[in-house]
Amino acid sequence: MQTQSKKKLHGQYYTESAYSSLLVNRFQEDSVSVALELGVGGGALLSAVSGRWPDARCVSVDIDPQHAQEDSARPVQHIHYCADALTLELDNVIGLMSGVADIAVCNPPFISADWNTSYSVLLDRAGFKVPTKALRVGADLLFLAQNLWLLKDSGQLGIIIPAGIIFGDKNRAVRETLLANHCITEVIELPSKAFKNTEVKTFILNLQKNKTTNSTIKLYRCDKDGTIEPFIEISLEEAVNRMDYSYYEWKENFPAKSYGPGKILEVFRGGISTAQARQLGIEVFHTTDLKKQLKPGRIFFSDNFGEATCNSNKVVAQLGDVVIPRVGRNIEGGVHIVEGGKALISDCLYVIRCPGRTPEELYEALTSREGVAWIKAHTHGACARFLTKSDLKKFPL
Ligand SMILES: C[S@@+](CC[C@H](N)C(=O)[O-])C[C@H]1O[C@@H](n2cnc3c(N)ncnc32)[C@H](O)[C@@H]1O
């Protein structure tokens, strides 16, 4: 199989030594007899484990046969299996009963897998809610479940996971389950682009299985060398909402503004996709058109957009509106005021109005230091970043 397609199929993004050392050095275990790694790849995490506990028996699994051959220089106490880590009877395959591993390290593939009925068992036995109508499921969650199942009580897991589990609305139940059943010792936010060729925002989640969680959780952020900043401590109630350092840093830095009395914004999401517009043969203003504007932060719609706009019941941006991307890598940099013309906007944009405030005031607020920090702190999504309408309506003015 071609390297590129295999990389995509198996989510092969490898951990750099700064992050593998950080992950392993944060463990509080003094001695380790059995260490496990599912999806071992080139062994970045497990070699950091061997470095710290040279006598540990290491058990690793990877679906890609190439990873088995690469490690011919593996120490005798390291046993590797070329297998699917998501098989139900993984314990039989690797000869490691559930509840035996002292520690587990993992950087799972961030891919979504077609739903398979065995995944219900796999999620259920790790205590996670089983979706009733799932078509696909994140492999990161399935790997998390398998690790929890194989780990001993009070054993530690250090796992690299995407932003979705840390603060995505859809994963609230996952966070509730983790917090209710295990002791999350800390969450470390990794720098953006921590993994080559992917934009996914990632975190190290460190937990102890089946131990009562402390009343607070420590959040850290690290730089490219793996050096961490002083922690921010959050309550368990806050942790159910989200566990990312950057959000709580923003909250600490701008407390008064964020909770002061604000005007409610009127927010309208564009009602037509670019594909639909193409089919209907009409022009729609899209995020890519923002870059074509001549004046920074200003939009002047050309006459191309006029005709469709007049006959449409979809959202139209016009003079005095503020436009902001709903999705994209640089939402905070995409705020614009409409200075002339009218246009149908695509479903990747919002139009914002605020009765009682001028467009300039609104623009200033959204592009101020606090505004940019607010937008960044409220942007969701691991890979495709997005801002929700309900969050944007609460933007503090
Ligand atoms: C994100 S990479 C991480 C590799 C390594 N642990 C690291 O941190 O550098 C994920 C690894 O999981 C492997 N993988 C993907 N799906 C798998 C599966 N179902 N069972 C076992 N391994 C799998 C891939 O081949 C890849 O080596």
Burial class (CB in 10 A: 0-12, 13-18, 19+), 91: middle
Atom of ligand 1 nearest to the CA of 84: 20
Residue nearest to atom 19 of ligand 1 (CA): 84
| Per-residue pLDDT at 143 exceeds 50 | yes
| Per-residue pLDDT at 70 exceeds 70 | no
| Helix extents (H) in 11-138 | 17-25, 44-52, 65-70, 90-94, 118-125
Residue nearest to atom 14 of ligand 1 (CA): 39
User: What is the distance in A from the centroid of ligand 1 to the CA of 10?
Assistant: 6
162 versus 355: the higher-pLDDT residue is: 162
Residue nearest to atom 9 of ligand 1 (CA): 14
- Helix, strand, coil content of the chain in percent (nearest 5): 35, 25, 40
| Per-residue pLDDT at 64 exceeds 80 | yes
Residue nearest to atom 4 of ligand 1 (CA): 41
Look at residue 158 in the predicted model and tell me its pLDDT.
Answer: 98
| Per-residue pLDDT at 186 exceeds 90 | yes
Beta bridge partners of 206: 158, 186
Residue nearest to atom 16 of ligand 1 (CA): 10
9 versus 374: the higher-pLDDT residue is: 374
214 versus 293: the higher-pLDDT residue is: 293
Atom of ligand 1 nearest to the CA of 6: 25
Residue list, ligand 1 pocket, CB within 6 Å: 10-15, 39-42, 44-45, 61-64, 67, 84-86, 107, 109
Residue nearest to atom 11 of ligand 1 (CA): 39
User: What is the distance in A from the centroid of ligand 1 to the CA of 61?
Assistant: 8
Look at residue 95 in the predicted model and tell me its pLDDT.
Answer: 95
User: What is the distance in A from the centroid of ligand 1 to the CA of 75?
Assistant: 20
> For residue 236, what are the contacts with CB-CB under 8 A and spacing of at least 6?
179, 213, 215, 216, 217
- Average pLDDT, integer, range 9-32: 92
Look at residue 198 in the predicted model and tell me its pLDDT.
Answer: 75
Ligand 1 pocket mutation pick from 15, 63, 116 by most atoms within 8 angstroms of CB:
63
- Region of poorest pLDDT, from 14-18, 45-49, 66-70, 218-222: 66-70
Look at residue 307 in the predicted model and tell me its pLDDT.
Answer: 63
Residue nearest to atom 27 of ligand 1 (CA): 41
All structural domains of the chain, each given as residue ranges with its CATH number in brackets, are 3-253 (3.40.50.150), 266-393 (3.90.220.20)
User: What is the distance in A from the centroid of ligand 1 to the CA of 38?
Assistant: 7
Atom of ligand 1 nearest to the CA of 45: 8
Beta bridge partners of 28: none
| Per-residue pLDDT at 308 exceeds 80 | no
Look at residue 311 in the predicted model and tell me its pLDDT.
Answer: 64
Q: What are phi and psi of 38, to 5 degrees?
A: -95, 130
Atom of ligand 1 nearest to the CA of 106: 6
pLDDT, one tens digit per residue, over 87-100 is: 999 999 999 999 99
Share of the chain above pLDDT 90, in %: 67
Atom of ligand 1 nearest to the CA of 64: 25
User: What is the distance in A from the centroid of ligand 1 to the CA of 389?
Assistant: 36
User: 302, 341 in Cβ contact below 8 A?
Assistant: yes
User: What is the distance in A from the centroid of ligand 1 to the CA of 292?
Assistant: 41
| Per-residue pLDDT at 32 exceeds 90 | yes
Ligand 1 pocket mutation pick from 7, 14, 119, 200 by most atoms within 8 angstroms of CB:
14
| Per-residue pLDDT at 16 exceeds 50 | yes
pLDDT, one tens digit per residue, over 248-262 is: 988 888 765 543 444
User: What is the distance in A from the centroid of ligand 1 to the CA of 41?
Assistant: 5
User: What is the distance in A from the centroid of ligand 1 to the CA of 141?
Assistant: 13
Look at residue 142 in the predicted model and tell me its pLDDT.
Answer: 97
Ligand 1 pocket mutation pick from 62, 67, 93 by most atoms within 8 angstroms of CB:
62
- Region of poorest pLDDT, from 157-166, 195-204, 370-379: 195-204
Ligand 1 pocket mutation pick from 106, 107, 110, 122 by most atoms within 8 angstroms of CB:
107
If phi over 0 gives left and psi between -120 and 50 gives alpha, with beta otherwise, what is residue 272?
Answer: beta
- Average pLDDT, integer, range 92-120: 95
Mean pLDDT value across the chain: 90
Buried/exposed 51-82: b ≥16 CB within 10 Å, e otherwise? ebbeebbbbbbbbbeebbeebeebeeebebbe
Ligand 1 pocket mutation pick from 64, 116, 159, 160 by most atoms within 8 angstroms of CB:
64
Task: Report the C-alpha gap between 112 and 51 in whole angstroms.
Answer: 32
Look at residue 144 in the predicted model and tell me its pLDDT.
Answer: 98
